[in-house]
Amino acid sequence: MNRSALTRLMPEGPVGTWLAGFRIDSSSQTPLYLQIASEIEHRIGHGRIAIGERLPPQRALAELVGVSRNTAVQAYRELERRGWVRSRVGRGTFAALPLDRAVPNPSWQPQFSASISRVTRPFMGEVNTEQAGRLSLASGKVAADPSIIGTFRQMFDLVLEREGARAFEPGPPQGIPALRAALAAHLHAGGADVRPQEILITAGARQALSILASILVDPGDTVVTEGPTYRGAIQAFQGVGARIICVPTDGDGLDLEALESVLAYTRPKLIYVIPTFQNPSSVSLSLERRHLLIEAAARRAVPIVEDDPYWELRYEGARLPRLKALDTWGGVIHVGTFSKLVFPGVRVGWIAGPPGVIRQAAVAKAGGGLHVSSLPQWAMARLLEENLLEPHLRRACQRLRSKRDLLLASLARHARGRLMARRPEGGLFVWARLPAPVQAADLLKSTSAKGVDFVAGPAFWPSGGDPYAMRLCFAGLDEPQLEEAAAIVGRSLASALTGVEPGEERHPERAPAGYMECGRRRGRAVPGRRA
Ligand code: PMP
């Protein structure tokens, strides 16, 4: 073909498709290799050649375009220099997008499903609080102690020795039978009569809540929760389109009178409660109210989801029975987890409930990923069988008790009576209250700038709640860190109150029951009724 012709039309075909209309002009001042490079660049830029598509080998390109092989080689070099192709030795040349052309942040927003917009909380906030070097009173994670690391090493050895290859098999979606049996015995020892077939193993309590939400709640259904409540539960229920009604709590837990009035005008799909050492308030539902709650729910046949991660973490006072142990009508679905008992990354939790619920939950779980990793399940089964959980919990409770005491004492020292806080009998959190006009979100901005994070109270309601409340977790830091974090909270509070006359510094008119003054200057704050 006469290459001096202005136009060269390439054949149709697998490669020829994008070569169609390929124009090179040998009479032009522009070297051939640059013309070829520009033609190919144009096609990649306009999507006629897909990013990642393999281009013809040099020799084939030379033949197709009717140039020397050397010209084709130069064209590819030029394209590589501009970033439009990448060569991989032995594999060929592939279309690419130059870095400066890459769309920096494609907008994903239009791609997301409608269901994610239902979830209102900025949960990502918590992710930022876990950066190295920060003092996090925000995260509810219990630091793993060295002794549990040693125990787990032994349990894994034992499992591998006894189970061999079986430990590497995925178990049934309901969870491995050995763990369900050991867990049933553990719950039984705690007073709840649960059989292994009434247990489903999950990847932590959070997954258990999502599974329950998916099988029990339809969009538009009502779910009753305590207010404040666990943010993960808000997320799980909002995620399936539930309308959440928060019933207020006091020092004895859920306000049963308020619950009764809610039940009088609406029929919720379920009542979600954290009866023992509630997250975030750390209060426990009194024994009398436990009975009343079960009766109220039984009268209307409304299931109760009892979320119970902290029951074992009691530092003082007498144990209260789980709702599951008091269940008179089979309406209590119990959710538990080892996250707070051994270490947060273990990701073994459970649902214990009526067989019909467990069967349906197993189907939902199978649909959403089938198995929880087998090895941690085996290790937890052996830990329970070898009776090693109890001694570990005794040590863990001692450690957590002294952390709680240290945080409360440090807050009292540094906040000088300006903070009211509950003294929790167990669990992981101090739920504290600031004097007006200092709101928790503003204090958080100031402590955060100094490296200390906590969670501001409104996050624990579906659409904002007490702006003066804050949750401080004492489980993740060691003693000197707790002292330092409390000092920063105290200093930030003092500076937020600079200029506020002592008379203007107000605790709420009626402090929620269960609070006590956390500090020396008694009388300045208005202490509530003590729990
Ligand atoms: N429920 C409550 C009340 C919690 O506080 C938490 C953890 N913060 C969970 C469930 C989630 O537990 P897990 O880590 O086992 O998913």
DSSP for 179-197 reads HHHHHHHHHHHTT----GG
Ligand 1 atom, smallest distance to 347 CA: 15
Separation of CA 208 and ligand 1 centre (Å): 10
Q: Let me know: does 415 contact 490? Beta carbons within 8 Å.
A: yes
* Cβ of 232 less than 6 Å from ligand 1: yes
Q: Cα 515–516–518 angle (5° rounding)?
A: 120
What's this model's pTM, rounded to 2 decimal places?
0.78
Tokens at 329, concatenated: 């009508």
CA–CA dist 400, 242 (Å, integer): 35
* Cβ of 349 less than 6 Å from ligand 1: yes
Tokens at 307, concatenated: 């979320």
430 Cβ contact list (under 8 Å, min separation 6): 282, 404, 407, 408, 411, 421, 422, 423, 424, 471, 472, 473, 474
310 pLDDT above the threshold of 90: yes
Which pLDDT band holds residue 49 (cuts at 50, 70, 90)?
confident
Beta-strand relationship, 54-55 and 92-95: antiparallel
Q: Let me know: does 44 contact 51? Beta carbons within 8 Å.
A: yes
Ligand 1 atom, smallest distance to 230 CA: 3
Tell me which residue has its CA closest to atom 12 in ligand 1.
205
Ligand 1 atom, smallest distance to 349 CA: 15
Separation of CA 9 and ligand 1 centre (Å): 66
Q: Let me know: does 456 contact 434? Beta carbons within 8 Å.
A: no
231 pLDDT above the threshold of 60: yes
The order of strands in the sheet holding 199-202 is 199-202, 349-352, 332-337, 304-307, 270-273, 222-227, 243-250, 253-254
Residue 305: alpha-carbon gap to chain centroid? 19
Which of 276, 307, 310, 429 most suits a substitution to test ligand 1, by most atoms within 8 Å of the C-beta? 307
CA–CA dist 38, 33 (Å, integer): 9
Per residue in 482-491, pLDDT (tens digit) is 999 999 999 9
Torsions phi, psi of 42, nearest 5? -60, -40
Separation of CA 455 and ligand 1 centre (Å): 15
* Cβ of 175 less than 6 Å from ligand 1: no
Per residue in 131-148, pLDDT (tens digit) is 667 999 998 888 878 888
Q: Let me know: does 12 contact 20? Beta carbons within 8 Å.
A: yes
Q: How many other CB atoms sit within 10 Å of the CB of residue 167?
A: 18
Task: Give pLDDT, residue 118.
Answer: 64
Element at 7 (helix H, strand E): none
Task: Specify the DSSP class assigned to residue 436.
Answer: B
Per residue in 78-125, pLDDT (tens digit) is 999 999 999 888 888 998 888 777 665 556 666 777 766 666 554 434
Report the chain's mean pLDDT, rounded to a whole number.
87
Per residue in 161-195, pLDDT (tens digit) is 999 999 999 889 999 999 999 999 999 999 999 99
Separation of CA 245 and ligand 1 centre (Å): 20
16 Cβ contact list (under 8 Å, min separation 6): 10, 64
